[in-house]
């Protein structure tokens, strides 16, 4: 009895101390955290949705405690602008999950290094060399061939009356488009067992990085790796780095043997130029880890988006018909659309924006971290705080968007809102210094793959798909459809 009284007394002392310290320091409001676990029980299986609910009560700058990780959730465009633009330098850090320590990736990776010289050099290479308009134009033909393979596969399914698993097809196509652009190689094949290594590794990385790891919330657990996440991440990262090193060494060797052979038009060629020119203070290790970041960063995000795009178009046949009509009038009978046609396809562009509004693949973006104490909107955000941006909540906020739950690409016609980081109500690629460097490639992949599928076939849902199946979400590295979309291609 005495022990219970003592425990209760300690609990109330802790509670009083917590409330008065929060008031004293004027931290953003938020739900009361339990001792040790904080607000973990309030996360649920879809944290972006739970945070959206909680923010309605606590406001657009809300504090929560994920175990011992103090986190602020940002849920309005005004607050996102304040943090990402006005105080961009302070909030340019990243919190680093334990899985990212695999193969010392956290110490070398562009995605996780602090904003300083090494990170700047890598961003410069991305912006000026890999993802420049000129470089992406040069590699268009490589991507064209991969889209032809998707078309051939869909054609086979059409002839056999067989459904296409859109997630699987999007994943294979994304991997192939990415590996063509980066290495001029084929990552994997449709209906093939032979090339599964790449696919297996990327799926493994996505699963491992997407799993909630208790060690991220209770650092005391880190050395024990109780869920085996660091160990498995070491395995997958190690295999992927070995593959990339293999491509790089092969290319260096072939350049040594044939210095006058025509140059390839992929990212690897850029890396070899950089190594030979010795222009940056970057090691080969930096460059292989950069390629890993690009490959992983672009795979799950694009795959998930492509599945949502086709899902929304299939359940909104009038919108699908409009995309088809536009493609017919702009592209005519050509089977494959060219990337240069994109500016002449405003309705397709509006469809992609609308999907990224309702289904941002990373609904909480990539976590940022406060590099020093900063007051925002009158509240103190202490150094080390993790910052999450609820892009999902902003995309569905009825005070920003009319009828936000309905799929209306038309809302983007005749107005200039874009996802390029200037319009804070639509930031699926983030904004500011660390905005997604791969956005120009993602833009091409999403538009071209959608155009290829819609232009060449009509699509029908496989028997037995319930309407409710289109709404369900599965939280992970990216938020995907809970049930895979299976649709049958038909001759138009």
| Feature table: binding site for heme | 436
Q: In what order do the strands lie in the sheet with 486-490?
A: 164-165, 486-490, 458-461
Q: Report the residue number, 42 or 95, with the smaller CB distance to ligand HEM.
A: 95
CB of 267 to ligand HEM, least distance (A): 9
Residue 129: HSE in the Cβ half-sphere, 13 Å Cα cutoff: 17
- Check: CB of residue 188 under 8 Å from CB of residue 169: no
Rounded least distance, CB 226 to ligand HEM, Å = 28
Closest separation in Å from C-beta 194 to ligand HEM: 25
Using CB under 6 A, list all residues that contact ligand HEM. 110-111, 293-294, 297-298, 301-302, 305, 361-362, 365-366, 368, 428-432, 434-438, 441-442
Tell me how far apart the alpha carbons of residues 42 and 64 are, in angstroms, rounded to a whole number.
10
84 or 163, CB closer to ligand HEM?
Answer: 84
Binding site feature residues: 436
Q: How far is the CB of 466 from ligand HEM (least distance, A)?
A: 27
Q: What is the largest distance, in Å, between two alpha-carbon atoms of the chain?
A: 86
Encoding tokens for residue 242? 């070995």
Q: Which residues contact 299 (CB under 8 A, 6 or more apart)?
A: 171, 174, 175, 178, 202, 206
In the complex, the smallest distance separating the C-beta of residue 405 from ligand HEM, rounded to whole angstroms, is 20
C-beta closer to ligand HEM: residue 298 or 489: 298
> What is the residue-wise DSSP string for 24-46?
HHTPPP-PPPBTTTBTGGGS-S-
Radius of gyration of the chain (CA): 24
Give one word for 29, left, alpha or beta, with left for phi > 0 and alpha for psi -120 to 50.
Answer: beta
Encode burial over 244-270: b for 16+ CB neighbours within 10 A, e otherwise.
beebbeebbeebeeeeeeeebbbbbbb
Shortest separation between residue 358's beta carbon and ligand HEM, angstroms: 13
Distances (CA, A) of 153 to 162, 170, 190, 194, 489: 11, 12, 7, 17, 10
Nearest approach in angstroms of CB 441 to ligand HEM is 5
Kindly tell me which of 123 and 322 has the beta carbon lying closer to ligand HEM. 123
- Residue 158 or 394 having the CB closest to ligand HEM: 394
Burial 435-453 (b: 16+ CB within 10 A, else e): bbbbbbbbbbbbbbbbbbb
Q: Which residue stretches of 339-408 are H helix?
A: 346-358, 391-395
Closest to ligand HEM by CB, 33 vs 481, is: 481
The nearer residue to ligand HEM, 297 or 409, going by C-beta atoms, is 297
Q: How far is the CB of 380 from ligand HEM (least distance, A)?
A: 22
Q: Which is nearer to ligand HEM, 218 or 267 (CB)?
A: 267
DSSP 93: B
């Amino acid at each position: 009895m005495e022990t219970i009284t003592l425990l209760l007394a300690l609990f109330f002392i802790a509670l009083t101390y917590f409330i008065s310290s929060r008031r004293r320091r004027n931290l953003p409001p938020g739900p009361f955290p339990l001792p040790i676990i904080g607000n973990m029980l309030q996360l649920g299986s879809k944290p972006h949705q739970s945070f959206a609910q909680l923010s309605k009560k606590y406001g657009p700058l809300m504090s929560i405690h994920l175990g011992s990780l103090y986190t602020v959730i940002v849920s309005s465009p005004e607050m996102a602008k304040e943090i990402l633009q006005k105080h961009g330098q302070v909030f340019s850090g990243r919190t680093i999950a334990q899985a990212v320590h695999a193969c010392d990736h956290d110490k070398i990776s562009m995605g996780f290094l602090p904003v300083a010289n090494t990170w700047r050099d890598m961003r410069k290479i991305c912006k000026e060399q890999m993802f420049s308009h000129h470089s992406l134009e040069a590699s268009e033909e490589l991507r064209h061939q991969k889209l032809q393979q998707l078309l051939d596969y869909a054609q086979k399914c059409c002839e056999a009356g067989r459904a296409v698993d859109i997630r699987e097809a999007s994943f294979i196509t994304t991997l192939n488009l990415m590996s063509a652009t980066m290495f001029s190689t084929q990552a994997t094949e449709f209906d093939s067992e032979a090339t599964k290594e790449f696919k297996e590794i990327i799926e493994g990385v996505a699963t491992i990085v997407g799993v909630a790891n208790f060690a991220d919330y209770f650092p005391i657990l880190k050395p024990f790796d109780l869920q085996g996440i660091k160990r498995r991440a070491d395995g997958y990262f190690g295999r992927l780095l070995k593959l990339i090193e293999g491509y790089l060494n092969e290319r260096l060797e072939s350049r040594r043997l044939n210095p006058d052979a025509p140059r390839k038009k992929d990212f690897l060629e850029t890396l070899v130029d950089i190594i030979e020119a010795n222009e940056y203070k970057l090691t080969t290790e930096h460059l292989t880890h950069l390629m890993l970041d690009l490959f992983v960063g672009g795979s799950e995000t694009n795959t998930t988006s492509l599945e949502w795009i086709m899902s929304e178009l299939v359940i909104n046949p009038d919108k699908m018909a409009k995309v088809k009509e536009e493609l017919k009038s702009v592209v005519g009978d050509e089977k494959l659309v060219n990337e240069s046609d994109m500016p002449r396809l405003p309705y397709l562009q509006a469809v992609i924006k609308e999907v990224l509004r309702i289904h941002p693949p990373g609904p909480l973006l990539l976590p940022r971290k406060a590099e020093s104490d900063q007051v925002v909107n009158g509240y103190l955000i202490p150094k080390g705080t993790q910052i999450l941006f609820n892009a999902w909540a902003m995309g569905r906020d009825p005070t920003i968007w009319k009828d936000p739950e309905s799929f209306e690409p038309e809302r983007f016609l005749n107005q200039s809102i874009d996802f390029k980081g200037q319009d804070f109500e639509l930031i699926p690629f983030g904004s500011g210094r660390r905005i997604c460097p791969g956005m120009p490639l993602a833009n091409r992949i999403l538009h071209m793959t959608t155009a290829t599928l819609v232009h060449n076939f009509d699509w029908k849902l496989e028997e037995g798909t319930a309407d409710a199946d289109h709404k369900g979400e599965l939280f992970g590295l990216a938020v995907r459809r809970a049930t895979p979309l299976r649709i049958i291609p038909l001759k138009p």
